């Protein structure tokens, strides 16, 4: 049994994306960004991107990112917005979490070793639900 793959460019890093037709999600093997297959224009499959889904996903990803940073700051008294590497990792994981929330009621976002304090390394492990997105 052979699997047909379709190749497109990652919207974040322009690396080649590889995904299987019929699957709803995929991930860039280079930068790790997650994406919804329905959001990519796939000319040879006759599909067009769903701009409402793209906006929906982007809004939820931003909300998840904001909540994660706020919860982390409240818990550890550390503002991650000053750390560009930490924010990039949070934003990548937020996009993945937003896509998971489109298909299920809740998801957990894990970002290990996001920063450290005098007690050692700190991590983000937060659960988000669809009700958090309101």
Residue 86: HSE in the Cβ half-sphere, 13 Å Cα cutoff: 20
Residue 106 has pLDDT above 70, yes or no: yes
* Domain limits, the chain: 6-45, 51-133
pLDDT tens sequence across 29-70: 777 776 666 555 443 444 444 444 445 467 889 999 999 999
Nearest alpha-carbon partner for 5 in 102, 29, 60: 29
pLDDT tens string 88-99: 999 999 988 988
Does residue 128 surpass a pLDDT of 90? yes
What confidence score (pLDDT) does residue 118 get? 94
Among residues 33, 31, 22, the alpha carbon closest in space to that of 61 is found at 33
The per-residue DSSP string of the chain comes to -----EEEE-TTT-PEEEE-TT-SEEE-TTT--EEEGGGS-BGGGTB---HHHHHHHHHHHHHHHHHHHHHHHHHH---GGG-HHHHHHHHHHHHHHHHHHHHSSEEEEEEEEEEEETTEEEEEEEEEEGGGG-
| Measured distance CA(60)–CA(82) in Å, rounded | 22
Q: Using 50, 70 and 90 to split pLDDT, how confident is the model at 134? A: confident
Is residue 75's pLDDT more than 80? Answer: yes
CATH classification number, 51-133, choose in 3.10.580.10, 3.90.640.10, 3.40.50.80, 3.30.365.10: 3.90.640.10
Residue with the larger pLDDT of the pair 71 and 15: 71
The answer for residues whose C-beta is within 8 angstroms of residue 46's C-beta and 6 or more apart is: none
């Amino acid at each position: 049994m052979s699997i047909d793959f379709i190749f497109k460019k990652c919207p974040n890093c322009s690396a080649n994306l590889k995904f299987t037709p019929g699957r709803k999600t995929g991930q860039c093997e280079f930068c790790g960004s997650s994406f919804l297959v329905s959001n990519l224009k796939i000319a040879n499959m006759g599909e067009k991107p769903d701009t409402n889904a793209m906006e929906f996903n982007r809004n939820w990803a931003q909300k998840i990112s904001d909540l994660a940073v706020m919860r982390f700051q409240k818990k550890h008294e550390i503002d991650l917005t000053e750390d560009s590497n930490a924010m990039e990792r949070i934003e990548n994981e937020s996009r993945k979490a937003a896509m998971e929330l489109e298909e299920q009621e809740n998801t957990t976002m894990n970002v290990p070793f996001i920063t450290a304090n005098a007690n050692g390394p700190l991590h983000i492990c937060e659960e988000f639900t669809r009700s958090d997105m309101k």
